[in-house]
Structure 1
Amino acid sequence: MDWWQVRDRAKAIWGYDQFRPPQGEIIACLLQGKDALVVLPTGGGKSLCFQLPALLQQGLTLVVSPLVALMENQVQELQQHQLAAASFHSEVPRGQQKKILQQLEKQQLRLLYLSPESLFSPSIWERLIAPRLMINGLILDEAHCLVQWGETFRPAYRRLGGVRQALLTEKPDSNPIAVAAFTATADPEACETIESCLRLNTPTYFQQSPYRPNLRLKVKQVCTPAQRKQQLLKFIQPQQAGLIYARSRSVTETLSKWLKEKGYQSAAYHAGLSATERRYIEQQWLTGNLQFVIATSAFGMGINKANLRWVIHYQPPLLLSEYVQEIGRGGRDGKIAYALTLVSEPTGLLYPEDKQRQRYFIQKLRQQYQKAQQLRKQIPKEGNIRTVEAMSPQGLTTLSLLHSIGELEWLNPFYYRLLPASEIKQSTPKLLTQPRKMEAYLRTQNCRWQFLLREFGFKQEAENFRCGNCDRCLSQM
């Protein structure tokens, strides 16, 4: 396909006269059937990079995505352009699910968005392995979720590496299936995990610095719960669009109630709400009927509000990648946006909340690994996941945890093999070390953007770097 045809199609659909670097290179890579790992800042135009190749080729591209809102937003936009795209997940009405399955069988779709769990559901998988169905690509959108959630919360992520070979086994005459991962935040360690887990074949790396000069970063220490609330009220800019992040459902509910009593138009958003409730809050916020949302990490991915002027972390996240994702939703229009993180004083003697939350996370994770090791002694050395699932409600999580520490391999998405001791390389679970990086960021005395650049693999750019706008840089002037 000539490059002018690629550009003409992009202009016809989205109205773009040219691509932003490195969009053109990524599109060319996927059109050539090569694997890729793409790390571009939030708002960098990642979705175009895999949507356009999918629409230019014959066959189906599968897009694995973590959240219903993220899938629906992208699919609605594509369908508005009369493009053959659909999303399949638990919230799709049964009648619509049946229609999508029929479209699959008749090869009428170019893009199918799925959660990792839906991908492995019998109704979908049985149709995907049909020999006559042409599949040209597997895309993992928001690939950092594989690292953050794949070991414990969403174990289906850990099985994605077996998808390509399983499909090709059923399609002996198939063209190569390109696999690509897209995310806004992945440090070198996360990239290594994604590449290994997805079994990427000598992937081309596309990485851009996470630095956003219009994002002004600040961390504020508080010594009591009352001070935390005072600093929140002091920072809120009610005439401008904002977001408040908390780490639990109960805190979002309590905080939302308190702010409503103060006269602020706000709402709590978390995974415990129904799909209808979540979509309503999203629309109210996007249209400006809500001043701000108090949310867990469930809010934000795929929800684009260009004029978001401020983001508050009422409680700091445990993972640095989560932090960069969430602050990256501010200032997408290029204008100045502010990001404030409220954190307990370092000793935790006066206000131990943040330290307690971190200890609880690590303790719970250690317990899960210990249970996985106990169950390992009971499960067959090789077998079907259904057998393990029947043995224990934690069966799938156990297999995921064992895979993450190199004690298990996936023969395909449904069959595993436990590795013998001679093949196991002892390693510390990576998630256990991640909170230390977040703690180091919060306590750093140097430029905050310099710290983030270094941690996300841009060490050369970080040398002698000063943003001049974060609280650390300003205090040293």
Structure 2
Amino acid sequence: MAIATPWQQVEARFKDVWGYDSFRPPQDDVIRTLLDKKDALIVMPTGGGKSICFQLPALLQRGVTLVISPLVALMEDQVQELKQRHLAAERLHSALTPFEKRQTLQKLQQNWIRLLYLSPETLLSRRVWETLCLPDVQINGLILDEAHCLVQWGDTFRPSYRRLGAVRSTLLSHKPRGTKLPIAAFTATANPAAQQTICNVLRLQQPKEIKLSPYRPNLNLAVKVVWTPRGRRRTMRQFIQAHPGQAGLVYVRTRKTAEELAQWLKPQGFSVEAYHAGLTSGNRRRIEADWIAGDCQFVVCTSAFGMGINHPRVRWVCHFHAPSTLSEYVQEIGRGGRDGKPADALTLVSEPTGWLDSADKKRWQFFSESERKLKQEAQQLIKSLSATGHIDQVLQQNGKAATALALLHSQQKLIWEDPFHYRLTEGTTSKPGKIYNSIQEIKDYLFSRKCRWQTLLVQFGCTAEANGMQCGHCDTCKK
């Protein structure tokens, strides 16, 4: 009787857990890389099966793989799915009870958990960090899921992302000699500049880079200019009515709008629910289950529904509000057509002047102004920082100092000796205006007369594929 090779054992485990006979390229290449304990940067379109690429290697090894995830809703979805398959996965986040947190930390100390989902902030919280540093807690690797969030939020709103590069060396100093701790970053939406930032911040060591084009030939993209708030609602309703009974999503940018739109649509006979991070975990799970089961046709949602939700038969996606970045846009339209069949993605945008409907213009100005104020406050705080220090001591003096430290790090004027101790250096100031440029990019896309997919491919660095492209199935090509 022939003895199964290690790779045959991997394939057998894959079929046993997920029920598939073979991998989709480049899943097998990614899995081999992680099992070989190598660093990696993985850029794959939504619906490409990224999660399996790090979940399967984690299940094949003793010890825990840490999965850094940006949103509580995303962690809950992934862990719930893994637990339904009777797999040893847990999560740690602020919404859990103290008892639940203690239980998970005890399982962690006993090396029972194979996949632990947590945010950058939770990873670097005192109790969790002390547990991870215990010599007997075996850590197999660090996965940064939705890695574009490091670039999108790391300099301002989520400064803990900027400290992740010091995690590996510090953890290894507490582990037995010879321990390997590979880091892999996964994203569907990172342009070449963002990819370089991710590699630099995480201090990836000769990473294996596996990159696929974001092009999805089954996604039909369209943008429609609306002139008034009433016209925006009417156009959205017509788009939904053109897809009777088909599963879909309506994206908005605020919780209030999600609730108001759902209440406006329900009396008109639509099967709809509002979804946002302000709902309880139980309500979010119920809405997701009803939507996937077909008991709810569509969900009016914020970006909390943007990452990790897996419904293969979504036939349409409507952006009631235009997103603020192309990464956000590609992430959210990627919910559609995950089964490979055609899906329509419509974005509604105010006419450029914003005279009659200023919703998009005001929102973009708000994000730009918020970013500008944060950086301005950070610049003032920088003047009072000592040359070296501990982040907790700095935060005691000023609760907003974490943003100043993140900004200094992005300007190469600060080094994290470990995730908690910093040292100021003389470096090169980085180019300012990242958020402004991101907003300009989405504006250029929305008001472009070129092929939608060609514009996206250029922005995401796929220039060869974009050269001369006419997709034939976006609104500009059809014209």
TM-score by length of structure 1 reads 0.95
1:399 to 405, 422, 425: 405
Aligned counterparts of 2:126 and 2:381: Cα–Cα separation in 1: 26
| Distance (Å, rounded) in 1 between the aligned partners of 2:88 and 2:359 | 49
Q: Conserved in 1, the CA contact under 8 Å of 2:63 and 2:139? A: yes
Q: 1:128 to 1:264 in 2, by over 3 A?
A: same
Instruction: Determine the C-alpha separation between the residues in 1 that align with 2:6 and 2:297.
Output: 47
**Partner Cα distance (1:391, 1:424) in 2:** 27
Which of 244, 256, 260 is the aligned partner of 2:262? 256
Q: What is the DSSP-based 3-state SS (H/G/I as helix, E as strand, rest coil) of the residue aligned with 1:170?
A: coil
Q: Give the corresponding residue for 1:187.
A: 191
Which letter does structure 1 place at the counterpart of 2:76? E
1:242 paired to 2:254? no
Could you say which residue in structure 1 is the equivalent of 2:434? 430
Q: Deviations over 1:416-474 (max 9, x none)?
A: 12223xx2334214223111110110111111001111111110000111110100000
Specify the SS of the correspondent of 1:112.
Answer: strand
Helix, strand or coil: the match of 1:465?
A: coil
Judged with a 3 Å threshold, the aligned counterparts in structure 2 of structure 1 residues 81 and 242 are, in CA distance, closer, same or farther, namely: closer
Q: Residue in 2 aligned with 1:13? A: 17
Q: Contact between 1:405 and 1:428, CA under 8 Å: does it hold in 2?
A: no
The answer to whether residue 301 in structure 2 is matched with residue 307 in structure 1 is no
| Offset at residue 275 of structure 1 (A) | 2.4
Residue equivalent to 2:372: 366
Q: Is the 8 A contact 1:85 1:110 kept in 2?
A: yes
Offset of residue 209 of structure 1: 0.9
Q: Is 1:69–1:279's contact at 8 Å kept on the other side of the alignment?
A: no
Q: Distance in 2 between matches of 1:238 and 1:174?
A: 59
- 2:136 counterpart of 1:132: yes
2:83 maps to what in 1? Answer: 79
- The sequence identity of aligned pairs, in percent, is 54
Gaps of 5+ in 2: none
Which of 291, 298, 302 matches 1:292? 298
Task: Give the Cα separation in 1 of the matches to 2:177 and 2:194.
Answer: 34
Q: How does 1:211-360 map to 2 (within 5 A)?
A: 211-236=215-240, 237-360=243-366
Please give the per-residue CA displacement for 1:127-153, whole angstroms capped at 9, x wherever unaligned: 111122221200011112212222222
Distance between the aligned counterparts of 2:76 and 2:430, measured in 1?
A: 41
For residue 333 of structure 1, what is the amino acid of its counterpart?
Answer: D
Displacement of 1:186 after TM fit? Answer: 1.0
3-state SS, counterpart of residue 298 of structure 1: helix
Q: What is the DSSP-based 3-state SS (H/G/I as helix, E as strand, rest coil) of the residue aligned with 1:102?
A: helix
| Structure 1 unmatched ranges of 5 or more | none
Q: Structure 1 pair 160/465, CA: closer, same or farther in 2 (3 Å)?
A: same
Aligned AA (1:359): Q
Equivalences, count: 473
With the length of structure 2 as denominator, give the TM-score of the two structures. Answer: 0.95
**Correspondence for 1:175 among 153, 172, 179:** 179
Separation of aligned partners in 2, 1:81 and 1:230? 43
| Aligned CA-pair RMSD | 1.7
Structure 1 position 373, deviation (Å)? 0.4
Aligned partners of 2:62 and 2:111 also within 8 Å:
no
The reply on whether 1:163 has 2:167 as its aligned counterpart is yes
Compared CA separation, residues 136 and 429, structure 1 to 2 (3 A): farther
In structure 1, distance between residues paired with 2:47 and 2:314: 12
Deviation at 1:300, TM superposition (A): 3.0
Change (3 A) 1:238 1:407: farther
